[in-house]
Amino acid sequence: MNPEVGVRAAALDSVVGHAREASPCECCGLLLGRRGDIAEVFRARNIADEPERRFLIDPEDHFAARRAARTLGLDVVGFYHSHPRSPAEPSERDRAEFSYAGHLYLIVSVRAEPAEVGLFQFDAGNFQRLSFVTVA
């Protein structure tokens, strides 16, 4: 993984918008792109039993996102979700439930303006914060 990830501005705007729309519940979705680049996002339904405190991506949406990625010539490179009331960093629940090694995890906090965004890579049971640059 490159030390700095490129995130398309439209993709980032979409995630922040999704987080604001879903608040006070958590939103979730998939990140589409290529290694070192997030080009698109795919919104997913949060089917968690307590959507105000956790997220669970609808399996149908997960498969639809994978099909969309193939159609666009992209890969699923990670996942995103929001924290309506806490910082944009992995929570204890996130740490316990995330399991896709090598994937990116974008977390957006909408508890204040402007929204706070954190990007992480999960590997060997740990989260590594990544720097990112917004690109056109």
Summarised one tens digit per residue, pLDDT across range 59-113 is 999 999 999 999 999 999 999 999 999 999 999 888 888 778 889 999 999 999 9
Domain 4-135 has CATH 3.90.226.10: no
Residue 132: how many CB atoms within 10 A of its CB?
A: 20
Residues 6+ apart with CB under 8 A from 10: none
State the pLDDT confidence band at 3, using cuts at 50, 70 and 90. low
Per-residue model confidence as pLDDT tens digits over 20-63: 999 999 999 999 999 889 999 999 999 999 999 999 999 999 99
Can you give the pLDDT at residue 75?
97
- Contacts of residue 50, defined as CB under 8 A and 6 or more positions apart, other chains included, come to none
Whether residue 97 lies in the annotated active site: no
Active-site hit among 26, 40, 60, 113? 26
pTM of the predicted structure, to 2 decimals: 0.94
Q: Which two tokens stand for residue 32?
A: 């589409």
